[in-house]
């Protein structure tokens, strides 16, 4: 029996998957949610008091198990949401590395410091686990994003309730099952699988429960705003990792071929269904001819590559993208490859546009689709202004032969992360990840991601 993982028996996704989860007689999602929260609450002190050396070994064990289950996880990801094996494998590899990184860092959790004595007292400032955490995870990188929502709080000493995506329950169940198989005590990790129609009520129920002390959410800005509103109503701190409109700036000194290959990959990988996907490219006028030739060549070469053949998960979004593209074309945009995006059979075709007007809705709407555009600008300063005009601020990139100049540009960009001569789609468990503005707040990963799930306590004694 899988320890500490709960599921709603009304879930439509459990048929055919090995039944190793804890079962309850009630089929009501609200009852299951309450049991999950109760389980996390009761086990909170147990996990908090597990020695850090033991936690470290559990994280290392989980990393090994994920590696052993790679093939099965890749297969499940492909079956559930059609993500090509190459990228599904990347997500598992990221999860393996992530657990190793958390194992390396967990022995630092709960660190503190002595402050100078004041008013005859010696202050000590320590970090302690905030308490049970509720994580809500998306489908588009199901292994790493499902794991991250649990692993950062666990490394801080918190128990968790994780609501998996309705699109990838099997992948995320097996991913999170790895934690208990690696040795996390019973009741510490609790999974909620509920039907789509029950999700809003269950999310509100769990967030409003006094036993839950923090929320983390990864997903769209629209849903993120709702979740944040619920958290605010109930005075719960929240970590939000939301959508993006990742931009690339290309100057005249850049290696155009390398920049173009990374930009096309960043735009089309996983059918653009990545929060870090490259959607906007601003090219200085001196670089325009060289970059135009490079991206036209590269985009035609990559268009039909097997590893980039991934479907849109939402037919509604496909139709939205077609309308956004038509609006942009009506205001002067043109396509450099594959014509204007068209929605067909629930999917949408890849494209790269140029000369997209700021009056177009596409200019600052996250597409979550294989569609990017590049515009020519008079200067790098103008490019920076256009990047910063967006309501989003998750990831960006700068392409230049001058690293010092790249760092200077990066410091001026309002974005959670800026990669110099690198793809906007980049993440690692040791590097803080998160956005600014409408892309969210707070950080996953590394010590920063662990600290998110702690509170600061001050202790004093007389001296």
List the CATH number of the domain containing 48.
3.40.605.10
What is residue 111's predicted lDDT score, i.e. its pLDDT?
80
pLDDT band at 166 (very low <50, low <70, confident <90, very high): very high
C-beta of residue 318 within 8 angstroms of C-beta of residue 409: no
Task: Categorize the per-residue pLDDT at 305 as very low, low, confident or very high, splitting at 50, 70 and 90.
Answer: confident
Residues 235, 303: one domain?
no
Looking at residue 10, what is its pLDDT?
Answer: 37
Interaxial angle between packed helices 199-208 and 29-48, expressed in degrees from 0 to 180 and rounded to the nearest 10: 40
Domain of residue 188: give its range. 29-242+437-462
Cα(34)–Cα(212) distance, rounded to whole angstroms? Answer: 11
Asked if 444 and 404 sit in the same domain, the reply is no
Give dist(CA 348, CA 324) in Å, integer. 12
Q: What φ, ψ does residue 227 adopt, rounded to 5°?
A: -65, -45
Specify if 455 maps to a domain.
yes
For the segment 370-399, the average pLDDT, to the nearest whole number, is 98
Say yes or no to pLDDT of 5 above 60. Answer: no
Identify whether residues 254 and 238 lie together within a single domain: no
Could you give the residue ranges of the DSSP H alpha helices within 216-255? 221-233
- What is the C-alpha to C-alpha distance for residues 133 and 153, in angstroms, rounded to an integer? 7
Do 325 and 441 sit in the same domain of this protein?
no
pLDDT one-digit tens code per residue, 30-57: 999 999 999 999 999 999 999 999 999 9
Q: List the structure tokens of 182.
A: 């690696």
CA distance 281 to 251: 11
Query: Mean pLDDT, to the nearest integer, of 308-313?
Result: 85
In a domain, 3, yes or no: no
Residues 111 and 227 in one domain: yes
Is residue 25 predicted with pLDDT exceeding 80? no
Structure tokens at 76: 């499940």
Helix axis angle, 199-208 to 221-233, nearest 10°: 40
pTM of the model: 0.92
pLDDT, residue 26, reads 36
Q: What is the pLDDT of residue 379?
A: 98
pLDDT exceeds 50 at position 2: no
Active site residues: 241
pLDDT band at 307 (very low <50, low <70, confident <90, very high): confident
What integer is the mean pLDDT of 303-327?
91
Domain match, 92 and 210 both: yes
Measured between alpha carbons, how far is 160 from 44 in angstroms, rounded to an integer?
9
Number of structural domains the chain divides into: 2
Instruction: Kindly report the three-state secondary structure assignment for every residue of 259-278.
Output: HHHHHHHHHHHHHHCCCCCE
Q: Same domain for 76 and 192?
A: yes
């Amino acid at each position: 029996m899988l320890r500490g993982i709960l599921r709603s028996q009304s879930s439509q996704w459990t048929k055919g998957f090995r039944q190793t989860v804890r079962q309850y007689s009630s089929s009501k999602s609200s009852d299951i949610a309450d049991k999950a929260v109760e389980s996390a609450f009761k086990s909170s002190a147990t996990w908090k008091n597990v020695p850090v050396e033991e936690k470290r070994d559990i994280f290392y064990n989980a990393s090994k198990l994920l590696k052993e289950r790679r093939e099965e996880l890749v297969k499940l990801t492909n079956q559930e949401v059609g993500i090509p094996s190459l990228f599904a494998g990347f997500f598992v590899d990221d999860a393996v590395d992530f657990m190793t990184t958390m194992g390396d860092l967990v022995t630092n959790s709960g660190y503190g410091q002595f402050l100078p004595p004041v008013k005859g007292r010696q202050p000590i400032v320590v970090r302690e686990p905030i308490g049970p955490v509720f994580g809500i995870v998306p489908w588009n990188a199901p292994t790493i994003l499902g794991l991250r929502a649990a692993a950062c709080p666990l490394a801080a000493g918190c128990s968790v309730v994780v609501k998996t995506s309705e699109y990838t329950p099997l992948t995320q169940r097996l991913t999170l099952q790895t934690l208990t198989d690696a040795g996390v005590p019973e009741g510490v990790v609790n999974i909620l699988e509920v039907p789509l129609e029950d999700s809003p009520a269950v999310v509100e129920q769990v967030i409003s429960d006094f036993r839950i002390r923090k929320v983390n959410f990864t997903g769209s800005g629209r849903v993120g705003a709702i979740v944040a509103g619920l958290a605010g109503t109930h005075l719960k701190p929240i970590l939000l990792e939301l959508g993006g409109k990742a931009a690339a700036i290309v100057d005249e000194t850049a290696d155009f071929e390398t920049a173009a290959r990374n930009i096309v990959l960043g735009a089309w990988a996983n059918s653009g269904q990545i929060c870090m996907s490259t959607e906007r490219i601003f090219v200085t006028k001196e670089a325009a001819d060289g970059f135009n030739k490079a991206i036209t060549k590269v985009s035609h070469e990559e268009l039909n590559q097997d590893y980039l053949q991934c479907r849109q998960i939402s037919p509604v979004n496909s139709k939205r993208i077609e309308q956004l593209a038509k609006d942009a074309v009506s205001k002067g945009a043109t396509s450099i490859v594959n014509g204007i995006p068209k929605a067909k059979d629930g999917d949408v075709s890849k494209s790269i546009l140029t000369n997209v007007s700021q009056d177009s809705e596409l200019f600052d709407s996250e597409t979550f689709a294989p569609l990017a555009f590049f515009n020519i600008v008079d200067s790098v300063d103008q490019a920076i202004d256009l990047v910063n005009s967006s309501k989003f601020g998750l990831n960006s990139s700068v392409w230049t032969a001058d690293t010092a100049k790249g760092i200077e540009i990066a410091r001026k960009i309002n974005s959670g992360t800026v990669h110099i001569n690198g793809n906007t789609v980049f993440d690692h468990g040791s590097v803080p990840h998160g956005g600014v503005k409408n892309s969210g707040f707070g950080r996953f990963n590394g010590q920063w991601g662990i600290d998110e799930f702690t509170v600061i306590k001050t202790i004093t004694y007389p001296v």
